[in-house]
Structure formats: C-alpha cells, structure tokens
Structure 1
Amino acid sequence: MTPVAIRVQKRRDALRKAGLRPVQIWVPDTRTPGFDAECQRQARLVAEAEQHDPALMSFLETAASDLDGWDV
C-alpha cells in the first residue's frame, strides 16, 4: 500500500469506528449536453401543473407543514 492509501484507510477506519459508513450518491451531470433544456422542460411542466390545479400549491404547503422542523 502507498502512504496515501494507508492514510486514507486509517481515516476510513476512524470514521467507521465513530459509527459512520460510506455512502455513494449519484447525481445528474450538469455538464451533459441538454441538461439545461431538460431542467427548463421539467420546470415548465411544474408551472403548467400549478396553472391547471390551483389547489396544488395549497396541498403542497399543507403536506410540507407536516414535516418536523419545516418552515414555510
């Protein structure tokens, strides 16, 4: 093992000993061609849904207020 690998392993071992575990999270690549267009498309769908269902925002706010520590 290289010194860097040993240091990384020690750090991981210490974190595990502290009760933590590693988690890998995959997120969208914002550099991908078309990412901006897809964001705009989804935002447009949400805006259209709000226009067609005036009670939607009220429903979402009510649902959100049920969450512990949520500030509306």
Structure 2
Amino acid sequence: MNKTHSILALIISFVFVGSAEAHAFLDHAEPKVGSTIHDPPSQVTVWMTENLEGAFSSLQVFDAKGVEVD
C-alpha cells in the first residue's frame, strides 16, 4: 500500500470510529433540569446534542420522589 492509500485509510478509520463512538447527551430541557414547578407541565421538551434513533432511544420522567410520571 502506498503512502496515499495509507493516509486515506487512516482518515476513513477516524471518520467511522468517531461516528461509532458518538453519543447523544441532554443539551437542555423545558422545564429546566432540576427546576421546581408547582403544577404538572402539559409537556416536557428535551433538546439533545445529537439526533436520536427512535428504535434505540427512550425517555423517562420522574418526580422529586423518584416516581416515574411519564
């Protein structure tokens, strides 16, 4: 393999490794994470750092006592 092919293979491997290791994290939410609200919101909206794959993603909402409320 010549030098050009070696460099190309290295670049391609970084592209695929980077996408395989990418994870979505919570960017922000409404109501804000950790906020205290007195009445239940009609909806909870979250913004993620990456797009999610619906088949492999889930979201659970808990109240201050740790009880799931979604």
TM-score (norm 1): 0.29
TM-score (normalised: structure 2): 0.30
If asked which structure has higher relative contact order (CA below 8 Å, sep 6+), I would say: 2
Instruction: Point out the structure with the larger helix share.
Output: 1
| Structure with the higher fraction of residues in strand conformation | 2
